[in-house]
Structure 1
Amino acid sequence: MNQIAGLGTVLGVWAHPDDEAYLSGGLMALARDAGSRVVCVTATHGERGTTDPERWPADRLAEQRAVELRDCLDVLGVTEHHWLGYRDGECDRVPPGEAVARIAELIDAVRPDTVVTFGPDGQTGHPDHQAVGRWTAAAVDRAAPARTRLLQSAITGDWARQWRIVNDRFDVFVPGYPVVRRESELALHLTLDPVTLSRKVKALAAQASQTAGLIATMGADQYAAWVADEAFVAAEPAPLICERCWWDHENARWRCAGTPAASLR
């Protein structure tokens, strides 16, 4: 709890409803219990998050997931939330300068002590996750107070090995992922106590369009064990991003129409 209290005001920036609960639900709940302010930002409504688009057309699913996210955050005690309003599956097409500027405005308004988001790998390899992680790192570099810590969600080798069969069964990761980190690289590693874990599972269960089938298939106990760990690394410095920057997927680097490529990492 001393570590959690030391996070101060927390701003989480994520791609889809349920990212925040899976990757930082315990952190958010514990931070709120410690009396800290927690603000959550979600880039998209997750309207493509279904294998049954006839039952769940995009508009209907977006509305449903907005309600589910509200209920999820209520369980965690989080009362401040912002949507960025981008299209699910298209974050990597958003002009980076625009997205960075919007997140920077929120950082300027919230003045967080800690920002949590995806690392460069996007946790699962999802392009939306990767884009949001890039935007957030650049926005922190541009707008955050000097004291602000940027923590990026990470996967440990032990967790990846323990849950490999489950992860493969449910296609959790894009081929070639996850990228695993050593315990010594972590800035924060939470193994949730039973009360906080139960609260996190309840929050995830509130997002039933995404989790009900998974919980039923895995069983409540295995599902809880699967989501019991949350790990974060301290971010490396981000490149400066302007309105003319774009992400070169083929070469995995930033490019800018107004800046020599060698100056962007």
Structure 2
Amino acid sequence: MSLALPGTGPVLGIWAHPDDEVYLSGGLMAAARAAGRRVVCVTATRGEHGTGDPERWPPERLAATRDAELTASLAALGVTEHHQLGLPDGGCAAQPFDTVVARLAAIVAEVRPGVVVTFGPDGFTGHPDHRMVSAWAEAARSRAAPAARLLYPRLTAEFADTWRDLYDRLALFPTADLPWRAAPDRIAVRLRLDDASADRKLVALRAQASQTAELVALLGVETMRAWACTEETFVDALPARALDFARGC
């Protein structure tokens, strides 16, 4: 595995729902921990509405299950520090912006990260909670650790094209302009996970079985591993005025 993060500071991930962190940065977190770096994960919601079967999974039951699943998933990656904000799943945009940013900024100030990882302004999938978390994270980082490097997960054109049929099949992206794809010269961090690292990330994903078991059954273990566990790529955050350019990459 190659990991090209500068410095030796802590890595702080800020995400919306349980499983966002492992899909988008599980390899990065594991590699950072293996290198002896502190890794802290923040999750905005408990994901209590993340089901198509609310009769089987009423919100409180699903929230408790996802809490336990996330703890096990992070442990598989070597991560033991986690903050749960407990905000309503699907309701992030309705929360008072300054209040949430203040909570996050307090965590950022304590962790003193060298790197912050979160969604880009597009939310990666366009989910409103993802977009809101991106805005909160950027504001908290600017307030409490402006020198920290801010990274967004992005797909390369090569990766997106390789898995185009799967993305279409799963309807993961609601509009034609998602996901934003990074031009090769914009990739700041590219992790190619070796076999052991890919297996570890797969274990972490499968630990969140309420969200991943049906997908693994649908795709098969080998396809799930090849798609979700072999590569992670990130770009450095851009100033707001540059985002229109990035959309066209």
Structure 1 partner of 2:78? 77
CA contact (8 A) 2:3 2:31 kept: no
CA distance in 2, matches of 1:95, 1:179: 28
Alignment of 1:66-145 (within 5 A): 66-145=67-146
CA contact (8 A) 2:32 2:38 kept: yes
Give the deviation of 1:2 after TM superposition.
5.8
| Residue range with higher mean Cα deviation, 158-167 or 38-47 | 158-167
Give the deviation of 1:161 after TM superposition.
1.0
- 2:65 counterpart letter in structure 1: Q
CA distance in 2, matches of 1:78, 1:51: 29
Give the deviation of 1:6 after TM superposition.
3.6
Structure 1 partner of 2:204? 203
Larger Rg: 1
Change (3 A) 1:155 1:2: closer
Q: Does 1:235 align with 2:237?
A: yes
Q: Does 1:213 align with 2:217?
A: no
CA distance in 1, matches of 2:186, 2:144: 26
Give the deviation of 1:5 after TM superposition.
7.0
TM-score, with structure 1 as normaliser: 0.86
CA distance in 2, matches of 1:235, 1:111: 18
Three-state SS of the structure 1 residue aligned to 2:154 is: strand
CA distance in 1, matches of 2:138, 2:8: 17
CA distance in 1, matches of 2:114, 2:224: 31
CA contact (8 A) 2:3 2:28 kept: no
Structure 2 partner of 1:169? 169
- 2:78 counterpart letter in structure 1: G
Gaps of 5+ in 2: 242-249
Gaps of 5+ in 1: 240-265
Aligned residues: 238
Percentage of identical aligned residues: 54
Give the deviation of 1:175 after TM superposition.
2.1
CA distance in 2, matches of 1:186, 1:92: 29
Three-state SS of the structure 2 residue aligned to 1:215 is: helix
- The 4+ residue runs of structure 1 with deviation greater than 6 A are none
CA contact (8 A) 1:123 1:155 kept: no
TM-score, with structure 2 as normaliser: 0.92
Give the deviation of 1:3 after TM superposition.
2.1
